[in-house]
Amino acid sequence: MNILFDLVPVSPTVQFEGGMLYGENVFFALQKRNKNLIGIYDSERYINSKILESGIKLYDINHISLKEVVEKENIDVFYTFQYKRQDKFQVSVKRYIITWHDVRGLELLYDKIELHYTENFYMKVKKMIDIMMRLFIRNPSERINNKKASVENAEYITDSQHSKHSIIGFYPHLAEKNIPVFYPPLSDELVELSQPRFTPKSYFLLTSSSRWIKNNLRAVWALDELFAQRSDLNFKVILTDVACEKIYAKGLKNKERFVFLNYVERAELLSLHKNAYAFIYPSLNEGFGYPPVESMRYGVPVAASGTTAVPEICQNAAIYFDPYNMSEIKNRILQLLDKDIYTEYSARAVERYKIISERQRMDLGKIVNFILGEKSPL
């Protein structure tokens, strides 16, 4: 069986994000099971050097078309782990398999916080035009029952029960397909954490701050208000992936309490998770949600939005808030300052991580089995 693996979405604009981790883990697991694995990638974007050195035959899409690769290598199965690429990569193969992580574009068309994530007037106007296009011109209601919105002969995998039933809700004709739910894998490789840059347990952590969908700005406003009310609280707030500090710093009353970091390497990111007092996750939409799991791994309590797939994954190991309500975000952070509540959620985090990580290890094997067309062991 000749399998073509779409490695192009492994090449993100930054060197770590959830989709990249998913793709890399599935790729290396599949490599161990199939000697006829072939990959396509984009040499103009970042790609893990371990993939380039894997010994797998790779084709650069800048020099050869997908159709040519399929014909040249007599491909039986084509796999991509990003649904949004399907309109570019509709190929004639025996099996076309897609991981469809979420339907965020239909679930959350717009939130007013999005306009705050602009650096200047020009970008704000551009963003407003984009929002109007989404709301009025690209009418989502026309796509809900549109069979063209999905590949007719594709087989789908998804990350959570939330995502599965949201897909079916927006595309009822897919209800007849058996869409399996597999937790996305986390790497089992041991990453040597960097030395802590900040005093352990002295800060709250927020990640992926360049993306408005993560809603970190509301959490920053809530924390700034909390610091204004409670000068006795000796905490800082660390935000990672801050592309434009001005977006967050504007109007803060306690700016000295906030540390804005841009991209951080994987080793430092995990170190930040491990040493945080608590992880704050106000995301507006998730198909799974890697970051809370990273914090639970180290027994760090999590305060998170109670929306989409987050409660399904975190269950009773996180304390939840309405992500649109800043007073509620502040309330939950205050609760974690209570020693008894803090200890309880720290213990819950450890137990929940054991359950999630075990399922992730099992489901990685099931993803590979699905791609290979083999039944997973009971």
In this structure, what CATH number is given to the domain that contains residue 325?
3.40.50.2000
Q: Tokens at residue 192, please?
A: 């040597």
Question: Tell me: the pLDDT tens digits for 239-296?
Answer: 999 999 999 999 999 999 999 999 898 899 999 999 999 999 999 999 999 999 999 9
Number of domains in the chain: 2
Q: For 71-96, what is the mean pLDDT? A: 80
Residues 181 and 264 in one domain: no
CA gap 294, 353 in Å, rounded: 8
Same domain assignment for residues 74 and 28: yes
Residue 158 and residue 299 in one domain = no
- Does 170 lie in the same domain as 248? no
Q: Within a domain: residue 194?
A: no
Asked if residue 221 and residue 316 are part of one domain, the reply reads yes
Q: Which residues constitute the domain of residue 291?
A: 203-359
Q: How far is CA 133 from CA 125, 130, 337, in A?
A: 12, 5, 43
Please report the pLDDT score of residue 81 as a whole number: 86
Asked if 160 and 50 sit in the same domain, the reply is yes
pLDDT at position 148, please? 47
Q: What pLDDT, on the 0 to 100 scale, is given for residue 127?
A: 83
C-beta atoms surrounding 64 within 10 Å: 12
For residues 303 and 291, membership in a common domain is answered with yes
What pLDDT is stored for residue 85 in this prediction? 54
Burial class of residue 240, CB neighbours in 10 A (0-12, 13-18, 19+): buried
* Same domain flag for 165 and 237: no
Residue 140 belongs to some domain of the structure: no
pLDDT at 378: 43
Residue 234: inside a domain: yes
Give the whole-angstrom CA distance, residue 63 versus residue 272. Answer: 40
Q: What's the rounded Cα separation, in Å, for the pair 206 and 216?
A: 7
Q: Is residue 143 part of a domain?
A: no
- Please indicate, yes or no, whether residues 326 and 343 belong to a single structural domain of this protein: yes
| pTM for the model | 0.90
The per-residue pLDDT for 12 is 55
- Tell whether 192 is covered by a domain: no
Q: What's residue 334's pLDDT? A: 97
Q: Would residue 121 count as lying in a domain?
A: yes
User: pLDDT per residue over 188-210, tens digit each?
Assistant: 556 789 999 999 999 999 999 99
Mean pLDDT of 180-187: 90
